[in-house]
């Protein structure tokens, strides 16, 4: 995930209920009330990360009502999914809510098996002191979507409904955490919210990549693709990770009338304790042989052969970090239609990472470690808002962010204890206008985000692939239209145009392959999504939409002709939906995704691509009582 040309999947860019969420585990939406995307540099609010923005997952909380929602779904490729949302009022001010999920699918080889449960209990709801305690557990045992090598530097037109991996591939994971929160409401309207979350997260992955070989002695190219085209299959290095995290956060929000002016105050403190241990196979990716297959019949049941077909994991690196942050922000109404915003944050961060090396006999040889310390990191935020009427807001804003050397719970090979934090700044002007009595909302923003003092390697490909170094920036335009056009028509439109996403300076690393003026990878010039729904009758609603992007290429830091060797053309994918209310408590829904079965590059890596999902149909029945 990327926002405004910058990653949004590290430890500072994903949040749960406004608090940091470890990035390295599988997820599911069964316990989410909504997902919020906040765009722009925001370290002043959230600390490490958030260069282009953050993604906040808001979880479901108990309600003062007796209500149960059951949803069952069946779909193509053996999809079976059930979710249950049980809310029970247990007292005048208390309630219990349990969300559960079970999902299973074959996907013609890319199997999914996932289940989860999330009980939550609240008491003192809507009173002066409200408490909540909850647990969350999610397990997944999947065969991942297959990776396919590029063909002539491009994404090949393979069938997106076929699986080119092997049954030996897997990605397994578990996320278990507990959370406790307390909200105190003051007489003057202020609110103090404190929350604690602690948990463990495990993930193990071993997958393969299919590459185009030769057919009838001739190299494969786009002109001779056919069912008999040979695909070789190679193993990627097995990997297993374990994370243990604890986060504590307390935020105050309130209003005041100091010096005859209206003030809105937001202030808080947060602390983090994180540990991570990474494992790899003792012999790298040398684990038997994955047999070749063909483009037309990849699902031939071929499995891993030879010796060593089960990874022998052993520890390769470890991490331990601690962070503390304090912030304050104030919004002041200085005139009837003008407001000024200002905020500042201070952070302290320390971490230690260790490497484990082994002798030929398998015994531990060395355990070198590296310490890094950031005793004082500052982030700022400022802005001005002009509101000529209740339906319009115009604004200008400035914000900063920073990334430490261990955002993915490890150091790369080029980092040292003295590596400074990466720093970024975002300048933005925009407007939000409401129409049709508030039924339709539009938003537009022009932005420029700059990252400077940038490190030279991507931690996901440390030592093998290099991304950017020194300094880069992105500039763009965002447009959003959300709401109801008429009593029967609703629409959602989101469009992003990023004409400038460029490397401005490179570092001193001799191995860095980036060049000044090169466009940043994984940042299409155009991305967008549109969705339109029509209430055909009191019981029937139909909808359709399209989402897509212009040409894209992998984040590999190469230039010139080599930059074209990991590229995906632009695409547009059409989805359809129909929903029918059988009764006030029962409805059925049919979703069709990628109805044209388009082949497109969903996840681009320097050496391979993971295609997007092919055509699929899902029928669901929901019952509330």
Q: List residues bridging with 533 in a β-sheet.
A: 490, 543
| Percent share of the chain, pLDDT over 70 | 89
- Residue identified by tokens 């647990």 is 135
Q: 2-624 — its CATH code? A: 2.40.170.20
Q: Is the pLDDT of residue 251 over 50?
A: yes
Q: Please report the pLDDT score of residue 272 as a whole number.
A: 96
Question: In the structure encoding, which two tokens stand for residue 499, read together?
Answer: 């004409």
Q: Is the pLDDT of residue 23 over 80?
A: no
Question: In the structure encoding, which two tokens stand for residue 276, read together?
Answer: 């991570």
Under 8 Å between Cβ of 332 and 308? no
Q: How confident is the model at residue 9 (pLDDT cuts 50, 70, 90)?
A: low
| Residue range 521-532, pLDDT digits in tens | 899 999 999 999
Choice among 47-56, 299-308, 382-391 with the minimum mean pLDDT = 299-308
| Residue range 451-497, pLDDT digits in tens | 887 765 544 444 443 444 578 899 999 999 999 999 999 999 999 99
Q: Is the pLDDT of residue 300 over 80?
A: no
Q: Is the pLDDT of residue 217 over 50?
A: yes
| Residue range 83-129, pLDDT digits in tens | 999 999 999 999 999 999 999 999 888 999 999 999 999 999 999 99
Question: In the structure encoding, which two tokens stand for residue 572, read together?
Answer: 């547009």
Listed by start position, the domains of the chain span 2-624
Q: Please report the pLDDT score of residue 541 as a whole number.
A: 98
Report CA-CA distances (Å) from 324 to 70, 272, 347, 456.
Answer: 42, 7, 6, 27
Q: Please report the pLDDT score of residue 461 as a whole number.
A: 42
Q: Is the pLDDT of residue 597 over 50?
A: yes
Cα–Cα dist 82/178, whole Å: 23
Q: Mean pLDDT, to the nearest integer, of 225-229? A: 86
Q: Is the pLDDT of residue 554 over 80?
A: yes
Q: Please report the pLDDT score of residue 512 as a whole number.
A: 45
Q: Please report the pLDDT score of residue 494 as a whole number.
A: 97
Question: Angle at CA 233, nearest 5°, toward 232 and 239?
Answer: 160
Q: Mean pLDDT, to the nearest integer, of 185-204? A: 96
Q: Please report the pLDDT score of residue 216 as a whole number.
A: 66
Question: In the structure encoding, which two tokens stand for residue 548, read together?
Answer: 């897509």
Q: Mean pLDDT, to the nearest integer, of 206-224? A: 78
Report CA-CA distances (Å) from 30 to 85, 113, 271, 543.
Answer: 9, 14, 28, 23
Q: How confident is the model at residue 32 (pLDDT cuts 50, 70, 90)?
A: very high
Cα–Cα dist 267/325, whole Å: 11
Q: Please report the pLDDT score of residue 410 as a whole number.
A: 63
pTM above the 0.75 mark?
A: yes
Report CA-CA distances (Å) from 203 to 113, 279, 573.
Answer: 14, 10, 31
Q: Is the pLDDT of residue 620 over 50?
A: yes
| Residue range 11-21, pLDDT digits in tens | 668 999 999 99
Under 8 Å between Cβ of 243 and 274? yes
Neighbours of 175 (CB within 10 A): 23
Q: How confident is the model at residue 66 (pLDDT cuts 50, 70, 90)?
A: very high
Tell me whether strands 208-212 and 147-149 are parallel, antiparallel or unpaired.
parallel
Residue 246 is classified by DSSP as: E
Q: How far apart are the first and last CA of the chain?
A: 37
Q: Mean pLDDT, to the nearest integer, of 592-613? A: 92
Give kind and range of the element (H or E) at residue 44. Answer: helix 43-46
Q: For residues 599 and 515, which has the higher predicted lDDT (pLDDT)? A: 599
Closest alpha carbon to 193 in 26, 61, 283, 92:
61
Question: In the structure encoding, which two tokens stand for residue 392, read together?
Answer: 């319009």
Q: Mean pLDDT, to the nearest integer, of 283-295? A: 80
DSSP string of 9-22, one letter each residue: -STTTEEETTEE--
Residue 420 is classified by DSSP as: P
Rama region for 319: left / alpha / beta (φ>0; ψ in -120 to 50; rest)? beta
Residue 550 is classified by DSSP as: S
Choice among 188-197, 210-219, 366-375 with the minimum mean pLDDT = 210-219
Q: Is the pLDDT of residue 418 over 60?
A: no
Residue 408 is classified by DSSP as: T
Q: Please report the pLDDT score of residue 307 as a whole number.
A: 52
Cα–Cα dist 310/208, whole Å: 14
């Amino acid at each position: 995930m990327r926002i405004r040309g910058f990653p949004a999947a590290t430890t500072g860019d994903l949040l749960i209920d406004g608090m940091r969420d470890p990035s390295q585990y599988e997820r599911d939406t069964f316990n989410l009330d909504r997902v919020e995307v906040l765009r722009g540099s925001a370290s002043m609010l959230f600390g490490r990360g958030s260069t282009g923005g953050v993604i906040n997952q808001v979880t479901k909380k108990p309600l003062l009502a007796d209500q149960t929602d059951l949803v069952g779904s069946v779909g193509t490729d053996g999809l079976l999914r059930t979710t249950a949302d049980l809310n029970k009022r247990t007292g005048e001010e208390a309630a219990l809510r349990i969300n559960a999920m079970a999902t299973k699918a074959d996907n013609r080889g890319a199997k999914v098996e996932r289940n989860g449960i999330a009980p939550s209990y609240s008491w003192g709801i809507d009173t002066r002191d409200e408490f909540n305690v909850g647990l969350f557990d999610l397990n997944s045992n999947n065969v991942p979507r297959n990776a396919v090598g590029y063909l002539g530097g491009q994404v090949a037109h393979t069938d997106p409904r076929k699986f080119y991996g092997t049954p030996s591939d897997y990605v397994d994971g578990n996320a278990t955490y507990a959370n406790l929160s307390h909200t105190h409401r003051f007489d003057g309207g202020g609110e103090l919210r404190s929350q604690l979350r602690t948990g463990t997260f495990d993930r193990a992955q071993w997958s393969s990549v299919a590459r185009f070989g030769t057919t009838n002695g001739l190299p494969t190219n786009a002109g001779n693709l056919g069912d008999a085209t040979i695909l070789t299959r190679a193993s990627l290095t097995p990997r297993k990770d374990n994370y243990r995290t604890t986060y504590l956060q307390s935020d105050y929000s309130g209003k005041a009338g100091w010096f005859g002016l209206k003030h809105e105050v937001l202030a808080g403190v947060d602390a983090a304790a994180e540990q991570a241990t990474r494992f790899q196979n003792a012999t790298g990716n040398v684990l038997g042989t994955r047999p070749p297959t063909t483009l037309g019949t990849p699902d031939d049941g071929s499995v891993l052969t030879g010796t060593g077909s089960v990874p022998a994991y052993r520890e390769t690196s470890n991490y331990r970090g601690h962070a503390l942050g304090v912030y304050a922000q104030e919004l002041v109404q200085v005139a009837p239609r003008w407001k000024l915003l200002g905020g500042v944050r201070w952070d302290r961060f320390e971490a230690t990472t260790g490497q484990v090396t082994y002798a030929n006999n398998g015994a531990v040889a060395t355990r070198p470690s590296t310490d890094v310390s950031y005793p004082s990191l500052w982030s700022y935020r400022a802005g001005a808002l002009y509101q000529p009427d209740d339906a319009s807001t115009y604004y200008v804003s400035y914000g900063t962010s920073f990334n430490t050397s261990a955002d993915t719970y490890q150091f790369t090979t080029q980092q040292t204890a003295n590596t400074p934090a990466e720093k970024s700044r975002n300048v933005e002007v925009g407007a939000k206008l409401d129409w049709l009595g508030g039924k339709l909302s539009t938003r537009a923003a022009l932005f420029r985000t700059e990252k400077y003092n940038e490190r030279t390697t991507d931690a996901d490909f440390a030592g093998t692939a290099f991304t950017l170094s020194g300094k880069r920036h992105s500039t763009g335009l965002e447009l959003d239209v959300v709401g109801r056009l008429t009593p029967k028509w609703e629409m959602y439109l989101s469009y992003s145009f990023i004409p400038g996403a460029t490397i401005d300076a490179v570092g001193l690393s001799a191995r860095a392959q980036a060049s000044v003026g090169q466009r940043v990878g994984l940042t299409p010039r155009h991305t967008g999504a549109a969705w339109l729904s029509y209430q055909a009758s009191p019981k029937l609603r139909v909808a359709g939409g399209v989402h897509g992007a212009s040409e894209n290429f992998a984040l590999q830091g190469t230039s010139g002709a080599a930059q074209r060797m990991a590229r995906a053309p632009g695409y547009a994918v059409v989805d359809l939906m129909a929903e029918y209310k059988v009764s006030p408590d029962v409805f059925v829904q049919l979703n069709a995704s990628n109805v044209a079965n388009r082949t497109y590059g969903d996840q681009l890596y320097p050496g391979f691509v993971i295609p997007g999902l092919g055509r699929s149909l899902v029928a669901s029945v929901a019952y509330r009582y």
